[in-house]
Amino acid sequence: MNYFSSNFKLGILGGGQLGKMLLYNTRKFDIQTFVLDNSDQAPSKIACDKFVKGDLLDFDTVYNFGKQVDVLTIEIENVNVDALEQLENENIKVYPSSKTLRQIQNKANQKLFYVDHNLPTAPFSRFAYLSEIEDAIKNGGLELPFVWKAARFGYDGNGVKIVRQLNDLEGLPAGECIAEEMIPFKNELAVIVARNVSGDIKTYPVVEMEFHPEANQVEYVICPARINDDVAKKAQDVALKTAEAFNHVGLLAVEMFQTQDDQILINEVAPRPHNSGHQTIEASFTSQFEQHLRAILDLPLGETKSKVGGIMVNLVGAEGHTGNVLYKNIENIMNLEGVTPHIYGKKQTRPFRKMGHVTIVNEDLSKARQIAEKVKNTIQVISE
């Protein structure tokens, strides 16, 4: 199959920033792209060959979009899986597969998948309704504290809450959820695995997530993680086993906990390019976005090694600001060594909305970390 400068059509479900960054690479290779997104303001709209506005969760919309392309991929998990299954039955190639997405979309099913495949994860209980959790606490079947997670439609700290007392459950969605044992972890790590259609598989170096102490949002993604080689090897092995168990094609980001005694437990996975891989654009031989394309098109996988140490800082909307976005002091951070901003193209800011990221590259990781802090404290995402 000739993908380059040809009639081949790649479809992407979702037109957010991940899609936009994927399109940097389809442009580089001159691959024709179709994008479907709910919003006319989607960041990907400016970079694809054909943009379709429509509901990603509607069967007919996804099915009719998929019929126009040769290979279909995603940049967001919350899409109509029944439509993907129907497209597969009609010989449209869909990566990741509808089967993989079905397992991953529901966090309870995802956790059961790990148990069934002997993949290490934190102990948990599954509940059909929130009210069952209260009953379980009252009758001693569940101990506080624990982590509540909605089974469906959670992302970036939404749909996740630490429950320390009974009234922490107030205001949470009433539907299916899990209660997960709270792990006193040493580090949150992630490994991105690439696996192509032929089954060739590679992992990127382990990254470490440094969190904001209050906001429960990732402040820095640090590559390579500041961990010893044994832990890094263990994390990569768990990630490889996970991708093979899912029979996954494309990128799989495996988020993990490193426990106090250096065990590795899977937190959750994302079957697509991921926030924990953005630094690969500047710091790696092959960016995660190029790698995703190589994998789903069954091309040889690129080199996953880093050229240089990399740290990624998320740019999120400042509290108290809603409206037309203004990136205050962006020139000042561009004056710093090894700094590259990526602005996603969302015209409206609101508190904690992901608006962009900044990569800092440096031979010396501790120096990169210092510059990252300066970036974090200098740039402000505010409204006009």
- The DSSP symbol for 371 reads H
3-state secondary structure of 8: coil
* CA pair distance 381, 384, nearest whole angstrom: 10
Residue 165 C-alpha from the chain's centroid: 30
* CA pair distance 285, 308, nearest whole angstrom: 9
Which residue in 227, 215, 303, 299 sits closest to 258, CA to CA? 227
List Cβ neighbours of 370 (8 Å cut-off, separation of 6 or more). Answer: none
* CA pair distance 220, 314, nearest whole angstrom: 7
Binding-site residues sit at: 107, 149, 180-183, 188, 267-268
Q: What are phi and psi of 20, to 5 degrees?
A: -60, -40
Q: What are phi and psi of 293, to 5 degrees?
A: -60, -45
Token pair, residue 17, equals 């920033």
Strands, DSSP E only, in 139-200? 146-150, 160-163, 177-181, 185-195
Binding-site residues for ATP sit at: 107, 149, 180-183, 188, 267-268
- 112 CB-contact burial (10 Å; exposed 0-12 / middle 13-18 / buried 19+): middle
